[in-house]
Structure 1
Amino acid sequence: MGRYKRKTEGPSWSREALNEAVEAFRSGRMSGYAAASTFSIPRKTIMDHVTGRRGQKSLSLGRPPVFKYETEKMIAKCLHVMEKNGFGLTRTEFLDIVKGYVKQNDLKTPLNDGTPGKDWFSSFKKRYKL
């Protein structure tokens, strides 16, 4: 388990509701105040999205992931196959494989020397139920 705990749960509204509120304002069907009360979204948030001051950058909260979703899914699938066939890996062996993958594919990552840390590893295991 990682050492970090999420402090926020994210917005109480959905992305679809925000898009509907922005569209309702842009089309002139509702004022900013009416859209805010109808969709239960702060008026400032709606206006920031209308004016382009703030866009929807990511589907998740927090930092962007180190690897693309497809890459992580492929690594997890390989690990599941290895595990099913009786080839377990230690954390160090796994991190060495990931480091080799980063170096071999010349990926740009925010990792120190291309090596993921203990927190990344524990979060990876949790995400893919390893």
Structure 2
Amino acid sequence: MVRNYVRKRVQTYSNVDIGEAIKSIKDDKMTINEASAKYNVPISTLYNRLSGHNGSSLRGGTTILSKEEESHLVYVIKTMQDYNHPVSNSNVRTIARRCTTELKKDIPDNGPGKDWFYGFMRR
């Protein structure tokens, strides 16, 4: 049976509210407790944003290839398929390993793992 995620709590504040609350805290106009009450933002959210634990960085792991390098890799794989050269999962991983070696990227000795491959194929 398929599970459907239902958010248990509705967010009662916006990013604008968070921004205004943080600005008023940084300008020493309010304490965190006062800003939380006025802008209806949880104290923990304000603490996390002020400390830089979340909200300021990208989600997910670090990438090995840049967007341009990745798009070139996709182009190579699609070109191989256009010339009727079958490309299996292991072929894609081998091509990616050779590509990262030529670009002098720091990867494990055995090359990109299956988790990289499945993440790459979803894009």
In the alignment, which residue of structure 2 is the partner of 1:118? 114
Q: Using CA pairs under 8 Å that are at least 6 residues apart, name the structure with larger relative contact order, 1 or 2.
A: 1
Residue 117 of structure 1 and its aligned partner are, at CA, apart by 1.5
Name the amino acid aligned to 2:61: R
1:14, 1:84 → 2: CA distance?
48
Percent sequence identity over aligned pairs: 21
Q: Shift in Å at residue 104 of structure 1?
A: 1.0
Q: Deviations over 1:4-31 (max 9, x none)?
A: xxxxxxxx68766644432232124543
The answer for the alignment partner of 1:8 in structure 2 is none
What's the counterpart of residue 108 of structure 1? 106
CA change 1:70–1:32 in 2 (3 A) is farther
- SS of corresponding position for 2:122: helix
The answer (yes or no) to whether the contact 1:21–1:39 under 8 Å persists in 2 is no
Taking the aligned partners of 1:14 and 1:76, their CA distance within structure 2 comes to 38
What is the root-mean-square deviation in Å for CA atoms of aligned residues?
3.3
Summarize the Cα distance change of 1:16–1:86 in structure 2 as closer, same or farther, 3 Å threshold.
farther
String of CA shifts for 1:14-71, please: whole Å, max 9, x gaps.
766644432232124543234335253x323423443x464656311x4323333443
- Counterparts of 1:97 and 1:83 in 2: how far apart (Å)? 13
1:59 aligns with 2:58: yes
Gaps of 5+ in 1: 1-11
Q: 1:100 to 1:39 in 2, by over 3 A?
A: farther
* TM-score normalised by length of structure 2: 0.62
The separation in 2 between residues aligned to 1:71 and 1:15, in whole angstroms, is 33
Runs of 5+ consecutive residues of structure 2 not aligned to the other structure: 1-10
Query: What secondary structure does 1:106 align onto?
Result: coil
